Chains A and B, each alone.
Chain A
Amino acid sequence: MKRIHVNEEYCIGCRLCEIHCLVQHSQSRKIIKAFKEEAPRAMARLVVEEEGPLSFAMQCRHCEEAACLEACMTGAMHRDEETGAVLCDEEKCVGCWMCIMVCPYGAIQRSLIGRSAASKCDLCYGNETPVCVANCPNEALIFVDETPSDNGAQ
C-alpha cells in the first residue's frame, strides 16, 4: 500500500503538515475559519517531534500487524479493505484508549472535540495525496508504494 514516509534529514520543523492536517479534519476545511472561528478547534492527526536541529512528522504508520487493531475491543479500529489504511470508526469507539496504550509510535491521540474517540491519521481518506505530504515545502514527507518492513514502520 501507499504509505507516508518521512525523511527527517529534510524536515525543517515548520509544522505546516500539522496545520494543514488540522484544516483537513476541521468542519469547514478552510484554513482561516478552522483556526479563527471553529470552536473547539480541530486537531491535527500528526505531531512534529523535535530535538535540536532534528525534527520529523510522526503519524500513524498503518502497520501491517497493527497492535491497535488487536487491542480494540469494539472493532472501531479497522483496516480499510481498499487502501489498507488503519482507520478508527469514531461511532464505534468507546474511548477505552487501549489503542493509545499499545501504539509503539504514539501516533494515536485522544480526541478533545466532539465525542471522546481515538484520533489518528486517516491518510486523508478520499484524497489522492494526504494534505501533509501535499503541503510539505521541502518534500520531507512523501507518499509512495514501498514494501513495508516487518512491523510496517519506515
Chain B
Amino acid sequence: MGISLKTSEFRIERNEDRCIACQVCVRQCANDIHAYDAEDDWVYSDETNCVACHRCVTLCPTHALTIRRTPLDFRENANWTAQRITSIYKQAETGGILLTGMGNDRPHTIYFDHMLLNASQVTNPSIDPLREPMELRTYIGRKPDRVQVSRDDNGQIRLETKISPQLTLETPIMFSAMSYGSISYNACLSLARAAKKSGIMYNTGEGGLHSSLYEYGPWTIAQVASGRFGVHPEYLQAAAALEIKIGQGAKPGIGGHLPGEKVSAEVSRTRMIPEGTDALSPAPHHDIYSIEDLRQLIFALKEASNYEKPVGVKIAAVHNVAPIASGIARAGADYIAIDGLRGGTGAAPTIIRNNVGIPIEMAISAVDTRLRQEGIRNQVSLIAAGSIRNSADVVKIIALGADAAYIGTGALVALGCHLCQKCYTGKCNWGIATQDPYLTKRLNPNIGSRRLSNLIRAWSLEIKEMLGGMGINAIDSLRGNRDHLRGVGLNQVELDTLGIKGAGQS
C-alpha cells in the first residue's frame, strides 16, 4: 500500500501545566484526535486528522489547548503552493474528486471590501434611528406596473389592482437554503424558530420538510430541486413560498450530493429515499431545458399552491446571469435568488467550488441594471446570496440592487460553525452538519434559535444606523441606490460593472 504522503495540517499544543486530564477534549472530538492513557493519567493528541474546528479548545475548562497551522514548510514556491501539492498527494492516493464544504476560500477579489458607504454631512441631515422611525420591512414578490385606486361612497380609498402574493420580511435578511440532511434537525429547528421570532424566512433546501417543522410553515420557503427530494402536496401547502432551485453558488452546473452517511432514518423518511443511500440531485432539472420549460414548472407550482404563494427561482451567478435572470423574470417568477461565487455548500468538488461562477456583487449589479433597462425590474424581487458576512454587506448588496440578502454561512457561524470545511464527512463536532446522534445533540435549538435571532436583531440595528447616517429612513430608498457606494482599489471595468463611482468622485 505504501506510505501516505499526507501530513497533518494542524498542530495541537497542550499546555501540560494546565491540562488536568479531565478528558473533555477526548469526549468531544469526533475525529479521535485526543486519547487518554489511564496508566499514566495523561491525555495526548495525534493531530493527523485535526480539522481545526476548535471544539476541544472551546470546551477545555483550563484553556490548555491551542491549535496552530503545522509549521512544516515546503520550499517556497509561489506557483506550487502547499495546498496545490497536497491536493495532488490526496488525488494520487484516492483517484477521486476532492470534496469540500462551505464557500470558496480562494483569495478572489471580495468586492464588498472595495466598496464604501456614504453618510450625510451638512447639506442633508442624517437620521437618528433611536429617535425616529426607520423602516426595514421588505416585501418579496412581483410588484404591479401601476396601482389603481378608487374612492368609495364614504371617500375611503380602495385598492383596485390585484397585488401578487408577497412575502413579508421584518428585515431584509433571510436564512438561505440548507437542507435537512446536510444540516441536523436541531440546526433546522433553530433556523425555523429564529425565522419566526425575527419575522423573516428560512429555506428548506432540497431536503424536504420534517413533519414536526410544519408549524413553522408561515416562515418557510420550500425548495423544489432537481432531485425532487421530499416534494409532495403537503410540503408545498405547508410553506409560505416555493423556490425552484436551478443552481448553487458553490457548485454551479452540478447537482447536490448528500453522502449516504448522512441519510439517517429520519432524513430518509423526509426525503423519501432509502436509508443510507447517497442523495444525488441531477445536474439539470430533467424537465427544464429552456426558459419555456421553467415557465411550465413555475406555473405548475403556482397552480398547485392556488396562486397564493410567491414562486421563486434560485440560480448560481454565472457569466450570463443578466440575460438568464431576464428570462426567469419573463417566465413568471416572483423572485430570483442569485447565489454568488463564494456561496456555501455541504459538499462540493473543491475544483468546482474554487473556480466556477462570478462574485455576487457583480451578478446583482448586472441583473439589476439589465432588468431596469428592460423595464421589468418591478416584476421580480432579487435576493442576493453568497457570503454576506455582516450588515454592511447587506447594505451594500441592497444598494447594488438586491431586495434582500440570504445568509447561510453567517447563520451557521452564529450556531457555532468554525468553517473547518468538513461538512461532507458528517462528523461536524458542533452538531450542525451531521446526523450522528452523538453529535446532533450538541446543538441545543433553544440556544441556537436565540443566537440566530440575536444575530438578525444586531444586524438590523446596524442597518438602521447605516441608513440613518445616509439620511435614509426606509430600506426601499436604498434599493439600487448606487450613489451611496464608492469603489476603492477597483479598475474602471469593475467600477462600470458595479455601476458605481470611484471614491472621491462626486
Q: Work out how many contacts link A and B, with CB atoms closer than 8 A.
A: 51
A138 to B62, CA, bound (A): 18
> For A20, what are the chain B residues with a Cβ–Cβ distance below 8 Å?
61
On whether the beta carbons of B61 and A31 are closer than 8 Å, the reply is yes
On whether the beta carbons of A35 and B438 are closer than 8 Å, the reply is no
On whether the beta carbons of B441 and A15 are closer than 8 Å, the reply is no
> For A103, what are the chain B residues with a Cβ–Cβ distance below 8 Å?
none
Q: A-side binding surface: helix, strand, loop or mixed?
A: loop
Known: A10-B444, A12-B442, A53-B441. A32 touches B24 (CB 8 A): no
Mark each residue of chain A from 18 to 60: 1 if its CB lies under 8 Å from any CB of chain B, else 0: 0110000000000110011000000000000000110000000
A14 to B441, CA, bound (A): 12
B18: Cβ under 8 A from any A Cβ: yes
Known: A53-B438, A138-B442. A14 touches B59 (CB 8 A): yes
> For B24, what are the chain A residues with a Cβ–Cβ distance below 8 Å?
14-16, 19
B389: Cβ under 8 A from any A Cβ: no
A7–chain B nearest beta-carbon distance, Å: 8
Mark each residue of chain A from 131 to 143: 1 if its CB lies under 8 Å from any CB of chain B, else 0: 0000101111000
On whether the beta carbons of B27 and A53 are closer than 8 Å, the reply is no
| A: interface residue count bin | 20 to 34
Known: A16-B61, A139-B444. A35 touches B27 (CB 8 A): no
> For B27, what are the chain A residues with a Cβ–Cβ distance below 8 Å?
13-15
On whether the beta carbons of B62 and A31 are closer than 8 Å, the reply is yes
> For B17, what are the chain A residues with a Cβ–Cβ distance below 8 Å?
32
A14 to B61, CA, bound (A): 11
On whether the beta carbons of A32 and B20 are closer than 8 Å, the reply is yes
B22: Cβ under 8 A from any A Cβ: yes
On whether the beta carbons of B61 and A9 are closer than 8 Å, the reply is no
A11: Cβ under 8 A from any B Cβ: yes
A30–chain B nearest beta-carbon distance, Å: 10
On whether the beta carbons of A9 and B441 are closer than 8 Å, the reply is yes
Residues B393-448 near A (CB distance < 8 A): 437-438, 441-442, 444, 446-447
A65–chain B nearest beta-carbon distance, Å: 31
From A15, A52, A139, contact of B446 by CB (8 A): A139
B28: Cβ under 8 A from any A Cβ: yes
On whether the beta carbons of B438 and A137 are closer than 8 Å, the reply is no
B17–chain A nearest beta-carbon distance, Å: 8
Known: A35-B21, A139-B447. A11 touches B441 (CB 8 A): yes
Residues B59-87 near A (CB distance < 8 A): 59, 61-62
> For A52, what are the chain B residues with a Cβ–Cβ distance below 8 Å?
437
A50–chain B nearest beta-carbon distance, Å: 9
B23: Cβ under 8 A from any A Cβ: yes
> For B22, what are the chain A residues with a Cβ–Cβ distance below 8 Å?
15, 19, 35
A40–chain B nearest beta-carbon distance, Å: 14
A144–chain B nearest beta-carbon distance, Å: 13
A16 to B23, CA, bound (A): 9
On whether the beta carbons of B447 and A19 are closer than 8 Å, the reply is no
A77 to B442, CA, bound (A): 37
A78–chain B nearest beta-carbon distance, Å: 32
A136–chain B nearest beta-carbon distance, Å: 10
Name the residue among A9, A14, A19, A140 with the largest chain B CB count within 10 angstroms.
A14
A59 to B27, CA, bound (A): 21
A137 to B59, CA, bound (A): 8
With both beta carbons as reference points, the residue of chain B lying nearest to A10 in the complex is identified as B444
> For B59, what are the chain A residues with a Cβ–Cβ distance below 8 Å?
14, 16, 137
A140 to B22, CA, bound (A): 19
Residues B17-50 near A (CB distance < 8 A): 17-18, 20-24, 27-28
A19 to B18, CA, bound (A): 14
B340–chain A nearest beta-carbon distance, Å: 34
A137 to B437, CA, bound (A): 17
A61 to B27, CA, bound (A): 26
On whether the beta carbons of A32 and B442 are closer than 8 Å, the reply is no
With both beta carbons as reference points, the residue of chain B lying nearest to A53 in the complex is identified as B437
On whether the beta carbons of B28 and A14 are closer than 8 Å, the reply is yes
B259–chain A nearest beta-carbon distance, Å: 20
> For B62, what are the chain A residues with a Cβ–Cβ distance below 8 Å?
31-32
A10 to B17, CA, bound (A): 31
A13 to B61, CA, bound (A): 14
> For A53, what are the chain B residues with a Cβ–Cβ distance below 8 Å?
437-438, 441
> For A36, what are the chain B residues with a Cβ–Cβ distance below 8 Å?
20
> For B28, what are the chain A residues with a Cβ–Cβ distance below 8 Å?
12, 14
On whether the beta carbons of B20 and A15 are closer than 8 Å, the reply is no
On whether the beta carbons of B61 and A19 are closer than 8 Å, the reply is yes
- Could you jot down 16 A-B contacts, CB within 8 Å? A10-B444, A10-B446, A12-B442, A14-B28, A16-B61, A19-B20, A19-B24, A19-B61, A31-B20, A32-B17, A35-B22, A36-B20, A53-B441, A137-B59, A138-B444, A138-B447
B interface list, Cβ under 8 A from A? 17-18, 20-24, 27-28, 59, 61-62, 437-438, 441-442, 444, 446-447
Q: Known A-B contacts: A32-B62, A139-B447. Give 19 more (CB < 8 A).
A: A10-B444, A10-B446, A12-B442, A13-B27, A13-B438, A14-B24, A14-B28, A14-B59, A15-B22, A15-B24, A15-B27, A16-B24, A19-B22, A20-B61, A32-B20, A35-B21, A135-B61, A138-B441, A138-B444
Report, nearest first, the 9 A-B pairs whose CB atoms are least far apart.
A35-B20, A53-B437, A10-B444, A53-B438, A138-B444, A12-B442, A19-B22, A14-B24, A139-B444
